[in-house]
Chain A
């Protein structure tokens, strides 16, 4: 009996001390204690602060990226303008074609040695006195290119130039065969080149008349890290 009483008391004690908290949680009419809410609110506040800070950094990163791309664009505009200056400067000299070939090559070499730049250009010069036009192709694309040229109203009409290595240029002279009177028209020169397995075609219209004419087609890419900006345009002068 005594043992049974002890057991009953002890189990009763156990029942009260262990079972009662669970029962209290379920059946207690009082509201839940606020600690969990407090903890949850602290977590949420900390989370919001962290997200806010991260978004602030993201905004600054985006702004910097925009400013850097603007800077790249300015560099590209500077280089583009200088290619046009070269063509204009060559026009003022006595040997237009020779000067242009030399200047373009030297300047492209300077760019390649001092900046992360890729350039492809086609320079065409029509000499009104000998009725020939000359074509120069410059490759500064950091890879070899395979070039073919087709031209309307020209003799020969098609020229296979072949491989032009990086930092090299090739010049060809063709006689145009426009015979209409007065002597005028446009020779459309199509320059097709293959680089890394892909074909690129550039069309250069050469104006034939009784005046000298030059045209410079340039394709410039300025890079910085993973970003780049590029421009493809032509500059021409008749005089």
Chain B
């Protein structure tokens, strides 16, 4: 191949040899095209992989749904007319059992009836724990100013 482009130093090539070289060139051209495509595809793949290697994480919709089910359960107990009495009597265990009956079997509730500062006794320390507040201001003519702090997590 190199000989074909050098001037004067080499003897002129024969016609057969020239044809052979041309054939070789045509074959090489095919390889070059293939190589270009392969490099192009690799570049594309590398670009896509680097661009989308860290896709935005799918938000955990389950958390919001569990939170809503917890809130709805407390609201249901309130509408039944039981919540205020339970809060006034500080009956956390009974409230928990009522919530367990309403919530999915796979969800564990933990209740704390408190005002501003709430303890975390009995709350799971592993995994995702969802928390929500439900306010209870008064029962009959008595002001309570309490909140039911509810923790929920998967068993």
Residues of A within 8 A of B (CB): 3, 5-7, 9-10, 13-14, 16-17, 21, 33, 35, 38-39, 42-43, 46, 50, 53-54, 57, 60-61, 63-64, 67-68, 70-71, 74-75, 78-79, 82-83, 85-86, 88-90, 92-93, 99, 102-103, 106-107, 110-111, 113-115
Query: Are A93 and B141 in contact, CB atoms less than 8 angstroms apart?
Result: yes
| A-B contact list, 21 entries, CB within 8 Å | A6-B8, A10-B12, A13-B13, A17-B21, A39-B44, A50-B51, A60-B59, A67-B68, A71-B67, A71-B68, A74-B72, A82-B136, A86-B143, A89-B140, A90-B141, A106-B145, A107-B143, A107-B145, A110-B115, A110-B135, A111-B135
With CB as the reference atom, state the residue of chain B lying closest to A100. Answer: B143
Would you call B61 an interface residue if the criterion is a C-beta within 8 Å of the partner chain's C-beta atoms? yes
Q: Which residues of B contact A7 (CB under 8 A)?
A: 7
Taken together as a complex, chains A and B put the C-alpha atoms of A102 and B22 apart, in Å, by 102
Query: Chain B interface (Cβ within 8 Å of chain A)?
Result: 4-8, 12-13, 18, 21-22, 25, 29, 33-34, 36-37, 40-41, 44, 48, 51-52, 55-56, 58-61, 64-65, 67-68, 71-72, 75, 115-116, 133-143, 145, 147
Q: Which residues of B contact A113 (CB under 8 A)?
A: 116
Q: Which residues of A contact B5 (CB under 8 A)?
A: 10, 13-14
